[in-house]
Amino acid sequence: MSFTQLDPPLPVHVEGKGQGFAFAVIDYGQEHNLIWVTGLSDSGEIWCAPNPLVRLQTNWTMGRDAQRPAASVTAIKPS
């Protein structure tokens, strides 16, 4: 497992939670999604969101005009 502090924090949108700033990433290894540690702008809550639910915020200059819906999160089942 590794914990990486982001400096500067990244402005993100967490599906179902809203806009915020990701200030760290947790990596549990190859069998798991990255986990984004995010402070939400509206509520001040801190959430750990799996990678498929996190998107960069809209940025017209960078060509990100609209949020795309996040892919559904599914558990990996061993065969």
Give 57-65 contacts, CB < 8 A, sequence gap 24+: 57/11, 57/12, 57/13, 57/19, 58/13
pLDDT score, position 75: 47
Per-residue pLDDT of the chain (79 residues; tens, 9 = 90+): 999 999 999 999 999 999 999 999 999 999 999 999 999 999 999 999 999 999 988 877 777 776 555 555 554 445 4
Which tens digit of pLDDT belongs to each residue from 56-71? 888 777 777 765 555 5
